[in-house]
Amino acid sequence: MASNSKSSTPMERYGYDVLLGSIAAFYVIMIPYTKVEESFNVQAMHDILYHRHHLDNYDHLEFPGVVPRTFIGALLASILASPFILVMNLLHLPKLYGLIAVRLALGCIILSTLRFFRLQVRDKFGKHVEAFFVILTAIQFHVLFYCTRPLPNILAFGVVNLAYGYWLKGNFFAALNCLMKSISLWEALIRCIGIALLCIGLTVLVDSIMWKRILWPEFEVFWFNSVLNRSSEWGTHSFHWYFTSALPRSLLVAYPLFLLGILLDRRILPFVLPVLFFIILYSKLPHKELRFIISSVPIFNLSAAIAATRIYNNRKKTFWKLLNFIMLGLLLISLGCTIITFMASYNNYPSGHALKDLHQIGHLPNNTNEQWVHIDPFSAMNGISRFCETEYPWRYSKEEEIPLEEFFHRNFTFLINEHRYIDGFKCLFSINGFSRTRLEMGFPPLLLLKEPKVFIHGNTKNKDVMNKHWPGCS
């Protein structure tokens, strides 16, 4: 076994990692911007990398959000990305490249844990199951897109992948120790409590410094979301939503295959049932999002890969040949769905594109004064972060709750706003964003419809802005 490992080529050892990593990197480069769910960790990583020990300049102190979040995950990703940020600063590259760097760093962490899980899949179920596991993961959009998104759920996703891997791997000596009662239940409990207290102490220490008050952020999040059930203020879904909407969209062809896998190989049942039970428990919370259960996808993909392998291996038999034909068709349909989802996501960050375009075409060569850009809450939630900002003469404000009629009395040079008409300002250009899909009788059968989402306005009192040629608002 060792000789085979040594004689294998680098492509044989890392080919699957290159494939999944390339797809994830493609998503990052094409869609570098972030949403409001990622806001805290994105701003935290920016501030750690660019403000360092100057805590007074950190974004979270000015915009703390509804509940405090931990800096632990952001610190880890920032440390990994810091050498690249240093090089970018020396080359005077835009900070947007820094956002790409931290997202790629996060992706490396998550994909390395997914690799560990994949290797355990190969050892336990064989190379064909491993191959189908990679194929299913590659043609799904959400895992590889989400693995680079700095969400709290994704930062935990890596730990879950490691747990899955060790769960599959098992440990003969650990099992033997348990059988021989060399470790008592009380001793195991003491160790678990000790590790838990150590982790809690670490987050309390780090986050109390960063937030400038003593706190345990994740306990406050748990209390707010689960005990007080305040998360429902951000929308609710029915009890079955995870099973009838979220999982079908994320798993695609793997959804029916994972159900088939349970029937075909009982070895997978002990791994699938706890994950299903976790989703059922989470379904009791009214507020639901796919990211809350994204960590369940690898186990479901494993079950689906087992079913796909059984179908493929028996493809020469009449009944299985039909199943193989259906499976290939569903794989192609899944790939098409992923392409459509990617295109929709590309157009789902209009504010990021708006600020980038403003930087490119909005420079006023005869003006040496600061150019102030106001970013409204909608724009801040749909693509703009501190990584999107650039250096002098550009200055930025995210001041909230400014009535539209008050902008006329403020000295902003530009506004990035969700409203088309604002007194005292002229709409210079607009950015379209994804609106909805529409079925067509012809080809392509599904159209992505876009509409103006963000409007860039110029101050009518600024002659340099008014004398410049702009694309105009559609």
271-320 confidence digits (pLDDT tens): 999 999 999 999 998 989 999 999 999 999 999 999 999 999 999 998 99
**pLDDT above 90 for 234:** no
More confident residue, 188 or 99: 99
**82: nearest Cα among 100, 98, 59, 60:** 98
Helix segments in 382-453, DSSP class H: none
What pLDDT, in 10s, does the model give residues 344-362? 999 999 999 999 999 999 8
pLDDT recorded at residue 442:
76
**Which ranges of 265-410 does DSSP label H, i.e. alpha helix?**
269-282, 297-313, 318-346, 350-361, 377-381
Give the residue-averaged pLDDT of 167-187: 60
3-state SS track over the chain: CHHHHHHCCHHHHHHHHHHHHHHHHHHHHHCCCCEHHHHHHHHHHHHHHHCCCCHHHCHHHHCCCCCCCCCHHHHHHHHHHHHHHHHHHHCCCCCHHHHHHHHHHHHHHHHHHHHHHHHHHHHHHCHHHHHHHHHHHHHCCHHHHHCCCCCHHHHHHHHHHHHHHHHHHCCHHHHHHHHCCCCCHHHHHHHHHHHHHHHHHHHHHHHHHHHCCCCCHHHHHHHHHHHCCHHHHHCCCCCCHHHHHHHHHHHCCHHHHHHHHHHHCHHHHHHHHHHHHHHHHHCCCCCCCHHHHHHHHHHHHHHHHHHHHHHHHCCCCHHHHHHHHHHHHHHHHHHHHHHHHHHHHHCCCHHHHHHHHHHHHCCCCCCCCCEEEEECHHHHHECCCHHHCCCCCEEEECCCCCCHHHHHHCCCCEEEECCCCCCCEEEEEEEEEEEEEEECCCCCCEEEEEEEEEEEEEECCCHHHHHCCCCECC
- Ranking 186-200, 290-304, 328-342 by mean pLDDT, the lowest is 186-200
The whole-chain average pLDDT of the chain stands at 90
User: For residue 13, is pLDDT > 90?
Assistant: no
- What pLDDT is stored for residue 172 in this prediction? 45
* Tens-place pLDDT, residues 386-420: 999 998 889 999 998 899 999 988 889 999 999 99
Residue 365 pLDDT class (50, 70, 90 cuts)? confident
Lowest mean pLDDT: which of 88-102, 225-239, 423-437? 225-239
- The mean pLDDT of 367-372, rounded to a whole number, is 83
Phi-psi region at 331: left, alpha or beta (left = phi > 0; alpha = psi -120 to 50): alpha
- The Cα–Cα gap between 47 and 29 comes to 22
pLDDT of residue 170: 78
The pTM of the full predicted model, rounded to 2 decimals, is 0.91
pLDDT at residue 4, rounded to an integer: 52
